[in-house]
Amino acid sequence: MPEVPLEARGLVLGKFMPPHQGHRYLIDFARGFVRDVTVVVGTLSTEPIPGDLRHRWMRDAFPGLDVLHLPEDLPQAPSGPEDDVFWDLWRTALQRLCPDADFVFASETYGQRLAAELDAEFVPVNLSRDLVPISASAIRADPMAHWDRILPEARPYFLKRVAIVGPESAGKTTLTARLAAHYATVHMSEFARDYLAFHNDRCDDIGQIETIARGQAAGEDALARQARRVLFTDTDTLTTVLWSEHFFAHCPGWIVDLADRRSHDLYLVADVAPFVADAQRFHPEEATRQLFRDRLIHELDRRGRRWTLISGDWDQRFADACRAVDRLIADPAPPVRRGD
């Protein structure tokens, strides 16, 4: 076999819907074979996962490679061996993006004809797909079952998010951490608690509310790629809205809009519990905390959010929460989309 010149370029074409470990093997194989690799993400406007999102995933997953987007609604399969129009369309589109391909790497037999059209050499890569036995269609059908095969960059799209919300002193922090440990995943703590600890445990102006809203959202999104199937969060942006209205009689519109967009897949509403005082709790009276719980439930209902009330002693609350989360994970409905 002749030595492959270092300046040779390889082409990998795919839908990456979503990108998975089989795709990583294919692309890593190509990178080990030639110095330069172009990855083309071919998408259709009618496909269930947006093309620009898949393109972004692939750019994030393979920094340093030429990852290009082909968003044209091209035919997806030739009508037969004599369908020259099909191959003309694809040859023209790919030569525009990658005019100097020396090799085409693929795990499907179409790669042979595509390579010939591009005047390149076809390199078959594990056509049996037994080395990394997974497919994008299997992941779309049951992402929870194939979680570890999804590339981390795409996992937030399939991640189910659970917010633990409720009044003060309802055990939210403990329940959140306990659930994350039980489901072997990560959790987002309440950003406001750490933030206000540096401000004398007080929230004195609306600018602090804005920082809290940004911090809570940023923390959740930063942990999303590390989460395994489900991400638990202690409070959420809607809670920030309610506290802003409580302290300042209004909330900045952009935070309200953010709370509307950042819907979680499930809300566990922690019921009122015996009050334990600390520097950041302001309402020892049970009636006030009950009013906050009821207002929160009203706002969840008004937005059509999925929620369940968690009551009883701490062990009962944990057991009820686990049952609700188990139902969520088993639910074939896709997660709530947040534009991620």
Residue 164: CB atoms within 10 Å: 31
Tell me the residue range of the domain where 136 lies: 9-140
* Distance, CA of 338 to CA of 216 (rounded, Å): 15
Residue 260: HSE in the Cβ half-sphere, 13 Å Cα cutoff: 8
In a domain, 339, yes or no: no
pLDDT band at 340 (very low <50, low <70, confident <90, very high): very low
Higher-pLDDT residue of 223 and 278 is: 223
**Same-domain status, 203 and 306:** yes
Instruction: Identify the residue with better confidence: 103 or 77.
Output: 103
H or E segment and range at residue 231: strand 230-234
Residue 231 falls within a domain, yes or no?
yes
Q: Is residue 145 part of a domain?
A: no
**What pLDDT shows up at residue 339?**
46
- Provide the number of structural domains found in the chain: 2
Give domain status of residue 338, yes or no.
no
Same domain, yes or no: 124 and 191:
no
* Mean pLDDT for all residues in the chain: 93
What CA–CA distance (Å, rounded) separates 103 from 81? 22
**pLDDT at position 335 over 60:** yes
Domain CATH for 193: 3.40.50.300
Per-residue pLDDT band at 2 (split at 50, 70, 90): low
Same-domain check for residues 80 and 222: no
Q: What is the pLDDT of residue 59?
A: 98
Comparing 21-25, 111-115, 282-286, the range with the smallest average pLDDT is 282-286
**Cα distance between residue 207 and residue 35, in whole Å:** 51
pLDDT (tens digit per residue) in 58-100: 999 999 999 999 999 999 988 888 888 999 999 999 999 999 9
Q: What is the pLDDT of residue 100?
A: 93
Position 223 in a domain: yes
Q: What is the pTM of this model?
A: 0.88
**How many CA atoms lie less than 13 Å away from 268 in the CB half-sphere?**
30
Q: Do 309 and 214 share a domain, yes or no?
A: yes
Indicate if 183 and 315 belong to the same structural domain.
Answer: yes
Give 327-336's long-range contacts (Cβ < 8 A, gap of 24+).
328/160, 328/162, 328/230, 328/265, 328/266, 329/144, 329/160, 329/229, 329/230, 330/144, 332/142, 334/158, 335/157, 335/158, 335/159, 335/160, 335/161, 335/265, 336/161, 336/263, 336/264, 336/265
- Which strands, in side-by-side order, build the sheet including 121-124? 66-70, 36-42, 9-14, 103-106, 121-124
Task: Select from 197, 184, 272 the least CA-distant residue to 232.
Answer: 184
Could you tell me if residue 250 is inside a domain? yes
The residue among 140, 171, 196 that closes a domain is: 140
Checking DSSP bridges between strand 103-106 and strand 121-124, what pairing results, if any?
parallel
Same-domain pairing of 235 and 129? no
pLDDT at 226 over 70: yes
Residues 126 and 37 in one domain: yes
Asked if 168 and 129 sit in the same domain, the reply is: no
- Over residues 165-169, the mean pLDDT reads 92
With respect to residue 218, please indicate whether it lies within any of the assigned structural domains: yes
Which of 87, 112, 140 represents a domain boundary (last residue)?
140
pLDDT at site 310:
97
Q: Is residue 18 part of a domain?
A: yes
Give the domain CATH number at 59: 3.40.50.620
Average pLDDT over residues 102-118: 96
Q: Domain ends where: 112, 140, 168?
A: 140
Residues 183, 109: one domain? no
337 secondary structure, DSSP code:
P
Instruction: For residues 205 and 308, state if they share a domain.
Output: yes
- Report the pLDDT value the prediction gives residue 186, as an integer from 0 to 100: 98
Q: What is the pLDDT of residues 16-58, one digit of tens each?
A: 999 999 999 999 999 999 999 999 999 999 999 999 999 999 9
**Average pLDDT estimate for 259-278:** 92
- Helix 253-261 to helix 206-224 angle (10° resolution) is 20
User: Using CA atoms, how far apart are residues 171 and 320, in angstroms rounded to an integer?
Assistant: 14
Residue 275 has a pLDDT of: 82
User: Is the pLDDT reported for residue 246 higher than 70?
Assistant: yes
| Domain co-membership, 45 together with 181 | no
Higher pLDDT, 283 or 308: 308
Residues 113 and 174 both lie in one domain: no
